[in-house]
């Protein structure tokens, strides 16, 4: 890939450090050195790449009127910051070699499939087990596949065990360890999704609730500067709603439970459930939600009105009641 002279005038190591600051530069340098940048390509005055984190993030750097603009769809980049993914992309582009591409043929997944089909069953099993020793994520997938074969009781128990193991924190999780922690939780979430696909929607609901509560607790014991936990929470919220749509629990019981989950949430992990679940709750569920909200409202102490004073329970209930009023057209 030939570099652009115009871009070369701006994108230097010093420029990258200035745009990113020390924190994001150091983190992006780690990502670059770990080989996390892929699909790097240049078209005209634009550089595109994908950078592997807990998810694959898309990065675009573009020269516009002597200024390089940047975009990344990670939480930090979405706020307009020159994030670590932008840093890794810029460094990968800056340090690329202008050597011609090798003439070796590209091996496709179709080629891989044909090659695997030529191996005997025992060889494939041996390979899988050996790779599973090296890659815990693969080992987890194989364990879940075996659990599915052993019936719903075993599958549910194994999914719960995997989730609890992934959420467990022995000591404070430093910034550098967050990708591994988040990857483990994401693997457990995939297990919950598999549970739902296997027809165990009610069990999947329970796991999602456990997961969201566990991730809220984890925020106290992690350096989650890049917002991994928020992304994982969103996956669980979407999966919980999907499981509700499949399981169709009693709307009144669901309405009361959702109120309690939102009211007692620490970091807003259940915020706005009346609106998000209104089609599942229906009129009966929303009414049950409203009744429980009003009951707690009458129990909550009045705001004192003193400057700077804020009663958490009352203020949070106010937010819930206002959201509910919109849903009911009050």
Instruction: Write the DSSP string, 192-238.
Output: HHHHHHTT-HHHHHHHHHHHHHHHHHHGGGB--TT-HHHHHHHHHHH
Residue with tokens 């009911």: 328
Predicted pLDDT at 300: 66
Cβ 277 vs Cβ 297: under 8 Å: no
Identify the CA nearest to 49 among candidates 101, 96, 119, 98: 96
| Farthest CA pair distance, the chain | 77
pLDDT, averaged per 10 consecutive residues of the chain (330 residues), comes to 65 92 91 90 87 85 87 87 94 71 71 93 94 83 91 95 93 88 90 93 96 93 90 94 95 93 85 88 91 80 49 63 61
Let me know the angle formed at the C-alpha of 258 by 265 and 154, rounded to the nearest 5 degrees: 95
Predicted pLDDT at 251: 95
Q: pTM higher than 0.85, yes or no? A: no
Neighbours of 67 (CB within 10 A): 8
Cβ 115 vs Cβ 55: under 8 Å: no
Predicted pLDDT at 9: 83
Q: E strands, the chain, where?
A: 37-43, 46-52, 56-64, 67-72
Q: Describe the crossing of helices 278-299 and 312-328 by its angle, rounded to 10 degrees.
A: 140
**Alpha carbons 312 and 321: distance in angstroms, whole number:** 14
Indicate the helix (H) or strand (E) that contains 318.
helix 312-328
For residue 77, the 8-state DSSP code is G
**Alpha carbons 267 and 51: distance in angstroms, whole number:** 28
Predicted pLDDT at 304: 46
């Amino acid at each position: 890939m030939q570099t652009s002279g115009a871009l070369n005038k701006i994108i230097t190591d010093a420029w990258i450090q200035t745009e990113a600051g020390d924190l994001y530069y150091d983190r992006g340098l780690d990502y670059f050195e770990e080989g996390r940048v892929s699909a790097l390509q240049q078209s005209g005055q634009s550089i595109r790449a994908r950078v592997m984190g807990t998810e694959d993030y898309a990065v675009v750097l573009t020269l516009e009127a002597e200024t390089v603009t940047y975009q990344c769809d990670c939480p930090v980049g979405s706020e307009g910051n020159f994030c670590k993914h932008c840093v890794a992309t810029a460094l990968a582009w800056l340090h690329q070699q202008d050597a011609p591409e090798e003439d070796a043929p590209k091996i496709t997944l179709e080629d891989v499939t044909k090659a695997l089909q030529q191996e005997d069953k025992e060889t494939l099993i041996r390979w899988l087990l050996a790779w599973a020793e090296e890659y815990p994520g693969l080992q987890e997938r194989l364990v879940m596949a075996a659990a599915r074969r052993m019936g719903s009781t075993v599958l549910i128990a194994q999914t719960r065990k995997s989730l609890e193991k992934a959420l467990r924190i022995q000591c404070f999780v430093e910034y550098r360890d967050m990708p591994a922690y988040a990857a483990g939780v994401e693997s457990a979430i995939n297990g919950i999704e598999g549970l739902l696909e296997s027809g165990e929607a009610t069990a999947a609901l329970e796991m999602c609730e456990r997961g969201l509560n566990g991730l809220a607790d984890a925020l106290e014991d992690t350096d989650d500067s890049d917002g991994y936990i928020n992304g994982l929470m969103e996956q669980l919220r979407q999966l919980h709603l999907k499981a509700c749509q499949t399981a169709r629990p009693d709307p009144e019981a669901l309405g009361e439970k959702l109120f309690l989950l939102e009211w007692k949430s620490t970091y807003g992990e259940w915020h706005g459930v009346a609106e998000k679940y209104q089609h599942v709750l229906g009129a009966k569920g929303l009414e049950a939600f409203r009744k429980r909200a009003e009951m707690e409202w009458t129990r909550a102490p009045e705001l004192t009105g003193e400057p700077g004073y804020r009663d958490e329970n009352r203020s949070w209930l106010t937010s819930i009641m206002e959201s509910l009023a919109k849903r009911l057209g009050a």
